[in-house]
Chain A
Amino acid sequence: MTKSNLINPRHVSMFVTLGLFILLFGTGSVLFYGFFSLQNFWNLFIDNSYLLIMAVGMTFVIISGGIDLSVGSVLALSTMMTSALLEKAGLPPPVVIFLVLLMGTVFGFSMGYIIQTFSLPPFIITLAGLYLARGLCYVISLDTIGITNPFWHVMARTKIRFFGLFFISPSVVIALAMVAIGMFLSRYSRFGRNIFAIGGNEQSALLMGLPVALTKISIYAFNGFCSALGGIVFTFYTLSGYALNGKNMEMDVIASVVIGGTLLTGGVGGVLGTVFAVLVYGTIQVLIVFQGTLNAWWTRIAIGFLFFLVTTLQRIFENRGTGVKQLEK
């Protein structure tokens, strides 16, 4: 029994991302006074909790070999629905939260159902979903709807302090809870393991008797849930609903997942890597703010470049071979 010298990309990329984060944070600390602080670290979570939640959902979609381009628009729809239900319909917070999460789940489920049942390419259906959700935002309102609901204001203002060293917001708790759920699902649930199998080789997964169709549809439903939850968390942050929220956000989410070490071809990846990648994303943004002169859009270019680097490296490793023996065709 021989083993190959193939580098298992599973954990290597994740540590590379962690290393990248440390490098960036370190560089910022050296270059800018006031950069290096515990609070600054936790601010990364406070400012990007919505992104983290959405990226957890997207991680599963990409591991299964699919893609979802609608997440930014579903976030926007979620913010619109939240603010409209609160302000215009006057519904109580628990009802609003439940309905919005339901909307996201149903939206995701519908797309997943169409993709799976009719074997249509995910990118086209979720791209259509993107425009559908965005359009529905405008149906609700073309203008911003400010949120006056007291519960929301409490959530926006609350600081959870830790021994006077630093504080976090409730959204961070929600985000970290989703991360924990994501990590549990991927490691300790059959659902999670099936996702890896499907992403690795869907044909094999089918022949191995795994519930492929059900799992794939559930993944999109779960992702829809995460986008809706991300939207609610976003409203805690902005205290408003605005149809133009989340423009191009799907790119940030997908980039975070991929930079975190999840292979775009599916079957390999993890939630923890995604967390590190979101930290990288947040750090780049803060670096640009601290720098002062650079256009904030450089963040997008930097992320785009990292995305390109990672996907190219993934492709090169793929070409190196996937085993000891090469099969002739």
Chain B
Amino acid sequence: MERLRSLTQKRIFWPIMALVVLMGFNLFFTPNFFRLEIKDGHLYGNLIDIIKNSAPIMVLAIGLTLVIATKGIDISVGSVVAISAGVAAMLIGNGVKGDPTHPIFVAVGAALLVSLLAGLWNGMLVSRIGMQPIIATLILLVAGRGIAMVTTNAAIVWLYVRPFAYLGQGYLLGLPFSIYIVILLLVFTHLATRYTALGLFIESVGINNTAARYTGINAKNILLGVYTFCGFTAGVAGLIVCSTVMSADGNNAGNGYEMSAILAVVMGGTSLSGGKFYLFGSIIGALIVQTLTTTIYAFGVPPEIAQIVIALVVIGISLIQSDKFRALFYGIAGKKAVQP
């Protein structure tokens, strides 16, 4: 009974509704949006494209969800994506013959390790030095692009090692392989946060850092952990991106990803002011963002201009989440009365 009644009150209800509305819009206004066909043993269609293209953002959103839950932010993820792609590409090598310079698993491992270290760096700045997260991650954003460019010698690195393409372009059981990566990461993160006390501790640190410390939670290590993990997810996203386009572009890879990922997390129900987080909501949020952009493209709007829509949506969602805006809208003066 409690479950049924609170269904509409569950935070994940609204993102799903938004997605349904978007899909509904497409059903009526976009021809062939829902057409699925099977070619070469794979599923093809707009829907599959949406799922495939949203993989990097979904992965980023998983990491960012935990960071945002601690009342933090990480705007360096775009740069880390570029660094990860660059490291992997350079190690695999762009020999036209198709043989990798280093084994693929070494390249993948190195890229993930570097990304993890990047996240660790952010985590140290925030938890040990006590820097504001926006500033701390701004540093990596600044330097990260430079590192990515230096790694690739400021040139786009093209890959011809076909097996590597499987990550981003391959299919398993009819579905894009990248989705399995997302599912794996999602399941792992969900188990790690909901089947241990980690999820509770992360939320507690975000809601009330002082109370969390007084209750015995090691807030510093929690912060260190979530930023490190976020760096790691950025590394995974970088690998998927690199594999999808079979190249690493230090200048442009990951550009704007932090915006889309933040939007995905916020639309999924997690608040920018920290606290309760919703991993599945973030996944839905990423789907919404991708559907939104796909819908825009379907109307012939070029990708660069699609960014405007994303930006406006972010402002809109922020306003909706703002107490002052809501007060203006509904004429309510504040929520709780002040206690003497």
Contact = CB atoms under 8 A, between A and B. Distances in A.
- A adjacent to B, CB under 8 Å: yes
Interface of A: 67, 114, 117-121, 123-125, 127-132, 134-139, 142, 243, 247-248, 251, 254-255, 264, 295-305, 307-308, 311-312, 315-316, 319
A131 B143 contact: no
B75 interface: yes
B321 to A, nearest CB: 8
Contacts of A300: 142-143, 145-146, 149
A315 B259 contact: no
Interface string B140-175: 111111110110011000000000000000000000
Interface stretch (B9-17, B109-117, B126-134, B213-221): B126-134
Contacts of B323: 119
A139 B301 CA distance: 10
Contact of B304 (A142, A304, A311): A142
A311 to B, nearest CB: 6
B308 A297 contact: no
A301 B143 contact: yes
23 contacts: A119-B324, A121-B272, A123-B73, A128-B315, A128-B318, A132-B307, A134-B307, A135-B309, A135-B311, A136-B308, A139-B308, A248-B142, A251-B142, A295-B154, A297-B150, A298-B146, A298-B150, A300-B146, A304-B139, A304-B143, A304-B146, A307-B143, A311-B136
B259 A301 contact: no
> Which 4 A-B pairs rank lowest in CB-CB distance, beginning with the nearest?
A304-B143, A300-B146, A135-B308, A297-B149
Contacts of B143: 300-301, 303-305, 307-308
B184 interface: no
Given A124-B318, A297-B150, A298-B146, A135 B307 contact: yes
Contact of B318 (A125, A142, A305, A316): A125
A234 B141 CA distance: 24
Contacts of A120: 318-319, 322
Interface residues of B, number: 48
Contacts of B140: 304
Contacts of A139: 305, 308
A311 B134 contact: no
B139 A118 contact: no
Nearest to B250: A297
Interface in B42-82: 73, 75
B275 to A, nearest CB: 15
Nearest to B316: A128
Interface string B308-340: 111110110011001111000000000000000
B308 to A, nearest CB: 3
B164 to A, nearest CB: 25
Contacts of A319: 130
A308 B139 contact: yes
A299 B250 CA distance: 15
B220 to A, nearest CB: 15
